[in-house]
A = this chain, B = another copy of it.
Amino acid sequence: MARKTKAEAAATREALLDAAEDIFLEKGVARTSLEQIARHAGMTRGAVYWHFKNKCDLFQAMLLRVRMPFEELAEEANNSGLANDPLSAIREACRQGFSRLEQPRYQRVHAILIHHCEVFGDIDPLAMQNEIAEETLVALTGYFAHAADMGLLRQGLSSEIAAGLFQSMLGGLFHDWLRNHQRFSLIERGTALVDAQLSLMRA
């Protein structure tokens, strides 16, 4: 085969990553070969080994195309100027995260990470999930503590328990939705649950 222009080469690289998303999601990471990925992108294994060192490298490249939603959730919660209303800040951060995850690429990659890959090379999805969960819990605890100081929380509800309840609820919702996203809309059901939970927690 002949050499292609730089733009074409970049396009085949993206096509390989797209194909990897498709087949990883369908068959799981461990059960898919580089041959299957290449064929699904209309290429051969030669293209894969030119653009990526091996399967693990390709997997990492696939992850780099999306950012973790919870990280952005924490970021955007900090950036939102609602520091005087921490509970509303939590709500808006959740809605931001929901709409991010509804984008097909985000949804597919996260579904692969959480439900379709095992420990794999030097990538440990469970460790990544643990980090994300811990970050989320810390961020939520801060916001609920702030809310408690302002007297916004129902009496008898500590900020630690509130943060734990909220984080578990969010995690369960994400797992449910990623398992089969066509059953319900994440934004609709997510905001309904978030609003209900915050309403229960408000003084």
Count A interface residues, CB 8 Å.
41
Complex alpha-carbon distance, A164 and B196, angstroms: 10
- With A130-B179, A168-B169, A179-B129 known as contacts, the answer to whether A157 contacts B200 (CB < 8 A) is yes
Contact stretch, chosen from A14-22, A33-41, A56-64, A118-126: A118-126
- Determine whether the beta carbon of B116 is less than 8 Å from that of A118: yes
Indicate which residue in B118, B156, B171, B200 contacts A28 across the interface (CB closer than 8 Å).
B118
Complex alpha-carbon distance, A32 and B133, angstroms: 28
Q: Which residue of chain B is the closest to A195 with respect to CB atoms?
A: B161
Q: List 12 A-B contacts (CB under 8 A).
A: A28-B118, A28-B119, A29-B118, A31-B119, A31-B120, A133-B176, A154-B200, A164-B189, A168-B193, A170-B172, A171-B176, A200-B201
